[in-house]
Chain A
């Protein structure tokens, strides 16, 4: 088997393991599915009249607007959960099993990222389905639906790389878990839940530059407004920025861990 084919096989095997882990640890699925869904329900019901505000964008319903925020929240938390799982692998010594095997070092992290992408895609399917059941419309139709799933999956992988970096650096699940509050800080300082120009200061100014805003708006566009290349490209840029930072940090942390044993 060629080197690339062997690597892909190992990545697939590690990815399968990580997906199984997520479903076998229900308490890890809660932050990815349960809490974002509850939050979606409360936000939609509690702030739904926001569409009556003068400068609120014209949408079919507040739920259509909110779905993106829940998906982004879910993928960020999926990335943190992936980091926690990797940290647990380090704590129990399972990672030594992978390091002592004749596989490329990078596949150790890539396998986990592939799993996070899969979980991201599944969470996108969940939220889109829930949205459709409760009356949302997807203005972009089937292409819009698929684009949303793709963007959410890529977003999950990007945040997974950040979670992996934290796990490799600290080696402790409790440290990775500690950044859960930070996820919400980043989300509240973006346009994930509300239009940028209707946020209070300083959130409005920070949201202009926050990559999460580009990502959330890129995911929201096909659902609430229709297909738009500009928003899609900006979302990919935001994902690329997060992914590049995560990849660089993961790579550095992995090298440091391999050096220090």
Chain B
């Protein structure tokens, strides 16, 4: 699937993926990677300019109505009218999906209860907190019992407690048989929730697999060190003798450990022999950020975007997507 906004802007540069029924699939990538554009194409909000896609057995271009009947969507910006009450929104959503009145009322009340919004249902959405809005958005996406649920960055901007509540609900839904396609820029979210993760960067999938297999692919742990001022250059030379250097972040040097924890002592001894003082030291197990770094040469998390030596991006650079 491909989406081009203009000659210069190729937001999604040819994505091939398959999500099995009852799977939770997470699209992980930074802002501008093409996650939202992909979701908008799959949910028929945007036409692909190339390629094809089927959702729940329906072609997104040839049979968008079939797709819309089968999916529930909770987008990045909770598309809620602040002047409506929570209950009014649920009833409108049920009408949009063709539910008879009585059934719509029954399901709406059940879902409001499930997401803990019964007490607030009579209040206008404009008075809700961020977490309440997300929960309402999720409930609205479920009113017609969709087979596939699309969640675009469902916990961005939420506090940890609200985030956990959303995760719990997503797992519950999946247990009940709903296929979930979610996009996120949070490693922990992909790690915790997803059966499989697709790492997307600059409109392409850089890697795909279960969280464990992706992490295993790039090997074992790495060591994070902070060296006393003036010693960084020399320290890099020493560390490079033991393993591949990783991109630095906030002045912290990092090196992959081919043999795991047993590499730590030799490295520390070598640094000491070189007269370098270690201010702090952490042994870190691989994360999805490490996978992202290995595939793209950049960190997903944090501000530093240093290129790892000898690592080039896997796809030709394209312009960042216009916001969908």
Does B265 reach chain A (CB closer than 8 Å)?
Answer: no
Q: Does chain A have a CB within 8 A of B241?
A: no
Once the chains are docked, how many angstroms separate the CA of A100 from the CA of B43?
7
> With an 8 A cutoff between CB atoms, is A98 at the interface?
yes
- Size class of the B contact interface (CB-based, 8 Å): 20 to 34
Docked complex Cα distance between A21 and B124 (Å): 11
Known: A98-B96, A100-B71, A101-B96. A261 touches B79 (CB 8 A): no
Chain B nearest Cβ from A84, distance in angstroms:
13
Contact with A along B76-111 (1 / 0, CB 8 A): 011111111000100111011110100000000000
Given the known interface contacts A17-B81, A21-B83, A24-B83, the answer about A9 and B93 at a Cβ–Cβ threshold of 8 Å is: no
CB contact under 8 A between A89 and B81, given known A100-B68, A261-B47: yes
Q: Does B75 contact A (CB under 8 A)?
A: yes
Q: Which of B75, B88, B324 contacts A17 (CB 8 A)?
A: B88
A99 to B324, CA, bound (A): 14
Q: When chains A and B are docked, how far (Å) is the Cα of A175 from the Cα of B27?
A: 36
Q: How far does the alpha carbon of A1 sit from the alpha carbon of B47 in the complex, in Å?
A: 29
- Does B73 lie at the interface of the complex (its beta carbon under 8 Å from any beta carbon of A)? yes
**CB < 8 Å: which of B77, B79, B92 contacts A13?**
B92
Nearest-neighbor residue (CB-CB) of B100 within chain A: A1
Whether A10 and B96, one on each chain, are in contact in the complex, defined by CB atoms closer than 8 angstroms, is yes
Residue in A25, A94, A102, A259 whose CB lies within 8 Å of B47: A259
Decide if B123 is an interface residue (CB 8 Å cutoff). Answer: no
Q: Is the interface of A mostly helix, strand, loop or mixed?
A: helix
A197 within 8 A of B: no
Per-residue CB proximity of A10-32 to B under 8 Å, as 1/0? Answer: 10011001001100110000000
CB distance from B305 to the nearest CB of A (A): 29
Q: Size class of A's contact patch?
A: 20 to 34
Give CA–CA (A96, B73) in the complex, Å.
9
Q: Is B69 an interface residue (CB 8 A)?
A: yes
Contacts of B81 in A (CB 8 A): 17, 21, 89, 92, 94
1/0 per residue, CB under 8 A from B, across A206-245: the answer is 0000000000000000000000000000000000000000
Q: Across the interface, which residues of A come within 8 angstroms of B78, CB to CB? A: 93
- Answer whether residue A97 sits at the interface, using C-beta atoms and an 8 A cutoff: yes
CA A261 – CA B5 in complex, angstroms? Answer: 10
A89-128 CB contact bits vs B (8 Å, 1 = yes)? 1001111111111110000000000000000000000000
User: When each residue 47-86 of chain B gets 1 if its CB lies under 8 Å from chain A and 0 otherwise, what string results?
Assistant: 1000000000000000001001101010101111111100
Closest residue on chain B to residue A22 by CB atoms: B83
Assess whether A6 is interfacial by the CB under 8 Å rule: yes
In the complex, per-residue mask of B31-50: 1 if CB is within 8 Å of any chain A CB, else 0: 00000000010011111000
Contacts of A97 in B (CB 8 A): 73, 79, 93, 96, 140
* B65 CB contact (under 8 Å) in A13, A93, A102, A261: A102
- Provide 7 A-B residue pairs closer than 8 Å at the C-beta atoms, listed in order of the A residue: A13-B91, A13-B92, A17-B84, A24-B124, A92-B77, A100-B73, A259-B47
**Which B residues form the contact surface with A (CB < 8 A)?**
40, 43-47, 65, 68-69, 71, 73, 75, 77-84, 88, 91-93, 95-98, 100, 124, 140, 324
Mark A residues whose CB is within 8 Å of B. 1, 6, 9-10, 13-14, 17, 20-21, 24-25, 89, 92-103, 259-261
Rank and list the top 9 A-B pairs by shortest CB-CB distance, nearest first: A261-B46, A93-B79, A101-B96, A102-B68, A13-B95, A24-B83, A102-B69, A93-B77, A97-B79
